[in-house]
Structure 1
Amino acid sequence: MRFDTPALRGAVIGVALTVGGNARAEPPPLPIRAAPALPATAPASGDSTGLPWSDAPARVGGTGDLGDSGVRLGTLGFPYTAVAPPPGLSAEGWSLTPSIAAQVLATDNVDLTVRDRRSELITTFTPGLLLSLDTARVQGIANYAPNLTFYGSDSDQNRIDHRFNGQFLATLVPDALFLDLRGAAAVQAVSGGYAPEGSPAVNRNDQVQTTSFQLSPYFVHRFGGIGTMQLGYALQHVTQDSNGTGSGALTPTGQRFFSDQDFTAHEVYAIGRTGEEFGRLALESRISSTEYDGTGILDGAYRRIATVETRYVIIRPVAALVEVGYEQQRYNGTPPVDINEPVWSVGARLTLSPESRITAKFGHHDGFDSAVLDAVVALGGRTTLYANYAERLTTSAQRAADLLSTTTLDPLGNPIDIATGAPVAQPFANSFMGAQSSLMRIRRGSVSISQIWPRDIFTLSLSREERRPVSVETGTTAFSQTGNSGSLTWSHALTEATTAIGYGQYGTFDSPGRGSGNVFTVSASLATELAPGLSGVLTYMMTNRGDDIASGRAVQNVVLVGLRQTF
């Protein structure tokens, strides 16, 4: 019996851990990475070398069946990623899957407060469009599903939240000229202190909408077996909008730690890679310059880097990695940041099997010494382990742009890591830690293990993130933050049409809006296919939070009922 039941695909988050779709005989000449994830961009995860021996997928999306690949499940209602992929592409190589979802949420504590608890009835409508293309000229996938939310007793909270993921690659001249288009949008709570996997209701004054787009034409030329050259330009635009109020971005003493952000970035880059004629030895040279026209920290900022990276296969499963180069970075804040110094790293890549690989490096980037780890290890036929660790110098707005360059999409339009194939949580959709507009040094490590059986999937995840302010935006204040989180998800296919999902999460956090605290969340869901294309979900969720701001603990109970029709 396959776990990929209609009820699961139509009613909960499904994130494929491998890219599905009908693979083309001749994929694009290089992985789809319009703005290469150079070390200076400090990607969230993944092998930032970008070397040709990377196992990065060469295309995005597709409409293939999720099959028995791993699935990370959601915890509440109908997130925008819940649309099932269509059964196949049309003869023209494209498909458009519309859907409409409606859900009613009842809670006894809509603001998750210790005192002044208010009951509320919230109705949400989610129209959706899932577009898949796989033609000779264009490949990709886009999933757009805004949430139209209406409050029963507080109409001031009515709003539209835009949620989107999309990536497309157009071949302008075969084997030579390409155009890469990417975008993403999501919403998070500015103050933090909510469960990482999602929160049922967040006051609109505590929300920030992040939208990011990237357009990149690039040219590729192969010199036989000697090597490959890539020249490109990337235009990026990111906005972070707190709905014109932003009262959630204030500390208890009235200090602002987040202000609306936006920037337009222009990047030009060149990449040279050696080919198979070099045997065990491979070289990659990169030059990249990114100029920012934005607000706050990114007003007049830039990132410039030139590197040469070497790989040498010592024995077939083990390769040594050495990188040297130079970087320049500038950020506008207090104090201003100017970095002009060499960069370097040394490490190794261990390839255990086509499904298992580990890359570990240590070096100097972004003005400090740091380590990088990316690992995906198949522990038998049913269990997979993922782990990553990275440090970077970045802002919340830059994280949104960097995510576009370090991820591809699964058949549902969800981001997955280019290097490992693991699901990637959008940093601008996670409300666990507070959002700040200052320049931060961010350390993040995570490990997860997933076991898949014919009727069950178990996923255990652990993560830790540290944020330390380096430069503060004028007019705001900045705080160090630490977040530790662990979660366990169990899904069980009761029948071909019905799936039960249980979820538990515990985390400790430091937030500028809430101080130190912890949050515990449990939920139970039942999802079923009522008719072809029609799915229903019933969810109970309990959240318990304590922090330095309020004496006592805030408890919130939620019951949700939803229907989704896919056409």
Structure 2
Amino acid sequence: MRYPGRQAPLSRIAFGIRAATLLLGAVMLLASHQVAAQVAGADVRLGNLRDSFQSAFPGQGAIATGGWTWGASLGIDETYNSATPNTGGTRGVSSKPDFYTSITPNISVQGEGPRLTGTLYYSPQAQIYVKSPSQNTISHNFNGTGHLTIVPDLAYMDLRGNTALRSRAGGVGPAGTTSISAQDQIQTTALSVDTYLVHRFDNFGTAQLGYTIGQTIISGSQNQIVSPFITPQSDQSLRSMTPHLSFTTGDDFGRFQGNLQVQATTNQGTGPGAGSSRSSETASLSYALTRLWTLTGSVGHEKIDYPGLNPIHIDGPTWSGGVIVTPDPASSLAISYGQKSGRPSLSVNASTALTSRILLTGSYSEILSTSAESAQAGLANSTVGAGGISINRTTGAPIISSDNFNGIQGAVTYSKTVNATVTWLRNLDTVSFSINRLQSQFVSAAAVGGPNATTGFNGTLSWQHEFSENLHGNIFTMMGQRSAVSAARVTTSQNTMTIFAGLTYDISQTLSTHLQATYTKTSNPLATQKPTTTMIVFGLNKMF
């Protein structure tokens, strides 16, 4: 979220803040004792790689201890950016070297009580530039989840929320490896509250009746960047209301498990999803053929309506058939094929511990939705892990958003997504390799313009090493290519390469310092991008 009116005051005090940064660093250095560190500030901007993936390994998940704990910290960074955008170039935006200061307070609360369990991370950030006051911004990052027992064994409430700063136009690396220009920033916020009643009929089955309210806001700079990869408008505000009813059979049915689910969603707001609705009635059945093989199937009906340009109306049957393979408690493969959203659909989810230290996860999915609806679906399919990272509820692996690379679209799209990650945990090292592919076909939009189809593919390699008890390092690389096909069938492509390296030294249990460098190379850059960009960051992080 930008506050243009605050740019001038922020610019005037920028010099004083830099002096205060150096003074604060000196004071904290003198006040710190050289004692064993608790990996304070070992995230090196990208996040602690080991903490992010550990929960996905068998026996490595966090252990609930009861009670409530909280933490707070303050990070101050000084960054050199070789290509800081500045308004007023020949293409609307020019670039020049500049320095900026980032001030990032962090707060975390997590715990478990008799009626309430939850986790919350909140981290706002202010960026203050020396020569480019138009780039001064305040952004917000939040991730939280909660479960409230209203009446034991009867009434419950689940709360979930997430907000983050993204690149609207895309073509850049993940958060922590790039500085998103003010002209390209977009704030994505998704919140949901699900209140429901549960009744268990002994071993016969369990019934659930509930009502979910979701709110998604995607807002930021509009029409400041002309890009062939995104729609002219990305802003969206969507409030969804979903009554839902389900019944799941119990142990009385032996190897059979059935589920009947009925739900109906109506959406209000602005953007491509405004005035849309979808409802479904689905009966599913699974049969445990052996301990290894489980057969699955479903039949049902769906109705989907999107207004706007090229309205979408789907009213027809749904069905699926598949198999779940579970060779051991740490491995599973689920494959399902059928008809959904009015067309054939394939779904694959896989997770296996190749060894006690090597984990492989992968998925393939097809979905008809808007960016706002996808944000809501992300809440439903995730929880919050160490350091505020979103965790896949099924595999336990971290979910890394690809929005910075693919951009934010203001249209209804039919998307096919492929993700695969291999993670290797060693005593002093954590290595992760991922590939991601997103193919989107644009089927309806809120306004004229934008591509007909886009494809994005990228691979990432991350390595974290513990050099000593106090010294930690990260290396991250990403190589990606994306393309867009216009209404005139003209194809535009862009290649992006990002290399990041960082070191963190724990001065004490509560104070750390870090040094980072990032190099980015982009072909066919947009208005706020240069062919090459270098960033150097020095900072301090104080835990309280």
- Name the TM-score, length of structure 2 as normaliser: 0.86
* Cα deviations by residue, 1:292-326 (Å, 9 ceiling, x for unpaired): 11213222210100101110011111100001100
Query: Which residue in the other structure is 1:102 paired with?
Result: 76
Q: 1:188-199 maps to which residues of 2 (within 5 A)?
A: 188-196=166-174, 198-199=176-177
Residue aligning to 1:207: 185
Name the CA distance, whole Å, in 1 between partners of 2:378 and 2:442.
21
CA distance in 2, matches of 1:548, 1:170: 48
Deviation of residue 110 (structure 1)?
2.1
Partner of 1:527: 504
In the TM superposition, 1:40-79 aligns within 5 A as 69=60
Note closer, same or farther for the CA distance 1:256–1:11 as it changes in structure 2 (3 Å cut).
closer
- SS of 1:110's equivalent in the other structure is strand
Which letter maps to 2:460?
S
Deviations 1:113-147 (CA, angstroms, capped at 9, x unpaired): 99954001011111111011200100110101011
Q: Tell me, in whole angstroms, the C-alpha distance in 2 between the residues paired with 1:265 and 1:289.
A: 10
Alignment match, 1:257: 232
1:37-87 C-alpha deviation (Å, 9 max, x unpaired)? xxxxxxxxxxxxxxxxxxxxxxxxxxxxx99959xxxxxxxxxxxxxx9x9
Check 1:197–1:512 CA distance in 2 against 1; reply closer, same or farther (3 A cut).
Answer: farther
Q: Which of 437, 443, 447 matches 1:470?
A: 443
Measured in 1, the distance between the counterparts of 2:131 and 2:530 equals 25
* 1:190 CA displacement: 1.1
2:47–2:387 Cα contact (<8 Å) kept: no
Q: CA deviation at 1:537?
A: 1.2
SS in structure 1 opposite 2:308?
coil
Unaligned runs of 5+ in 2: 1-36
Greater share of strand: 2
- How far has the Cα of 1:16 moved from its partner? 3.1
- Structure 1: 5+ residue stretches without partners: 21-65, 71-84
Displacement after TM superposition at 1:261 (Å)? 0.8
Partner of 1:125: 103
Distance 1:17 1:272 in 2: 34
Is the Cα contact below 8 Å between 1:146 and 1:163 reproduced in 2? yes
Secondary structure of the residue that 1:399 maps to in structure 2? helix
Match of residue 42 from structure 2: 8
Q: Distance in 2 between matches of 1:256 and 1:324?
A: 36
Letter in 1 for 2:52: A
* Structure 2 counterpart of 1:139, from 95, 117, 124: 117
The structural deviation recorded for 1:7 is 5.1
Q: Distance in 1 between matches of 2:464 and 2:447?
A: 47
Instruction: Write the distance in 2 (CA, Å) between the matches of 1:503 and 1:519.
Output: 14
CA distance 1:10–1:95, change in 2 (3 Å): farther
SS in structure 2 at match of 1:200: coil
Q: Alignment partner for residue 235 of structure 1, among 200, 208, 213?
A: 213
Please show how residues 497-536 of structure 1 align to structure 2 within 5 Å: 497-510=470-483, 515-536=492-513
SS in 2 for 1:464: strand
Q: Counterparts of 1:321 and 1:381 in 2: how far apart (Å)?
A: 29
**Alignment check: 8 A CA contact 1:141 1:167 kept:** yes
Q: Distance in 2 between matches of 1:553 and 1:410?
A: 35
Of 109, 123, 130 in structure 2, the residue corresponding to residue 152 of structure 1 is 130
Cα pair distance change 1:532/1:369, threshold 3 Å? same
Maintained 8 Å contact 1:434/1:511: no
Correspondences of 1:308-323 after superposition (within 5 Å): 308-323=283-298
Percent identity of paired positions between Structure 1 and Structure 2: 27
- Over 3 Å counting, the alpha-carbon distance change for 1:198 and 1:531 in structure 2 is closer
Partner Cα distance (1:224, 1:170) in 2? 23
In 2: Cα distance, 1:426 partner to 1:332 partner:
28
Alpha-carbon offset, residue 200 of structure 1: 2.4
- Say if 2:285 and 2:298, in contact at 8 Å, map to a contact too: yes
User: Whole-Å Cα distance in 2 between the matches of residues 306 and 481 of structure 1?
Assistant: 32
Question: Aligned-pair distance for 1:423?
Answer: 1.0
Once the 2 structures are TM-superposed, how far is the Cα of residue 412 of structure 1 from its aligned partner? 2.6
The alpha-carbon distance between structure 1 residues 69 and 492, as it changes in their structure 2 partners (threshold 3 A), is farther
Partners of 2:439 and 2:334 lie apart in 1 by 22
1:449 pairs, out of 416, 422, 426, with 422
- For 1:405 and 1:325, the matched residues in 2 are separated by 21
In structure 1, how many angstroms separate the alpha carbons of the residues matched to 2:299 and 2:270?
A: 32
Equivalent position SS for 1:531: coil
Of the candidates 50, 53, 57, which is equivalent to residue 17 of structure 1?
53
Q: How many residues matched?
A: 498
Match of 1:56 in 2: none
Question: Match of 2:461?
Answer: 488
State the superposition RMSD in angstroms.
Answer: 2.8
Aligned partner of 2:356 in structure 1 is 381
Residue 482 of structure 1 aligns to a residue whose secondary structure is strand
Q: What CA distance in whole angstroms lies between the structure 2 residues aligned with 1:16 and 1:367? A: 37
Question: Distance between the aligned counterparts of 2:530 and 2:266, measured in 1?
Answer: 46
Matched, 1:543 2:520: yes
Structure 1 contact 257–512 (Cα < 8 Å) conserved: no
Match of 1:359 among 312, 326, 334: 334
- 3-state SS in 2 of match to 1:474: coil
Q: In the TM superposition, what is the alpha-carbon distance from 1:4 to its structure 2 partner?
A: 8.4
Bigger shift: residues 454-463 or 188-197:
188-197
What is the CA–CA distance in structure 2 between the aligned matches of 1:398 and 1:233, rounded to whole Å? 17
Map 1:335-484 to 2 at 5 A. 335-426=310-401, 430-484=403-457
Check conservation: 1:433, 1:510, Cα contact below 8 A. Answer: no
Distance 1:347 1:305 in 2: 20
Structure 1 position 479, deviation (Å): 3.4
Is the alpha carbon distance of 1:358 and 1:13 closer, same or farther for their aligned partners in structure 2, counting shifts above 3 Å? Answer: same
Name the SS for the 1:247 alignment partner: coil
Q: Distance in 2 between matches of 1:156 and 1:397?
A: 28
Distance 1:11 1:67, change over 3 A: farther
By relative contact order (CA 8 Å, sep 6+), the higher-ranking structure is 1
After TM superposition, give the deviation of residue 411 of structure 1 in Å: 3.3
The 1:67/1:367 distance shift into structure 2, 3 A limit, reads closer
Query: Relative to structure 2, which stretch is displaced further, 410-419 or 190-199?
Result: 190-199
Which one-letter code corresponds to 1:228 in the other structure?
A: T
- Over 3 Å counting, the alpha-carbon distance change for 1:305 and 1:187 in structure 2 is same
Partners of 1:116 and 1:409 in 2: CA distance: 39
Q: Which has the larger radius of gyration?
A: 2
In structure 1, C-alpha distance between the alignment counterparts of 2:426 and 2:54, rounded to whole Å: 17
Which of 276, 280, 301 is the equivalent residue of 2:251? 276
Contact 1:11–1:528 under 8 Å retained in 2: no
- State the Cα distance separating 1:549 from its structure 2 match: 6.1
State the SS of the aligned residue for 2:356.
coil
> Partner letter of residue 487 of structure 1?
T
| Contact residue 307 and residue 323 of structure 1 kept, 8 A | yes
Deviation of 1:486 (Å) = 0.7
Which residue identity is paired with 1:13? G
Please state whether the residue corresponding to 1:107 is helix, strand or coil: strand
Aligned residue in 1 for 2:12 = none
Distance 1:315 1:105 in 2: 58
Counterpart Cα distance in 1 of 2:401 and 2:478: 18
Question: How far is 1:366 from its partner?
Answer: 1.1
Change (3 A) 1:135 1:9: farther
Structure 1 residue 367, shift from structure 2 partner: 1.4
Deviation at 1:251, TM superposition (A): 3.5
Q: Equivalents in 2 of 1:4, 1:373: separation in Å?
A: 39
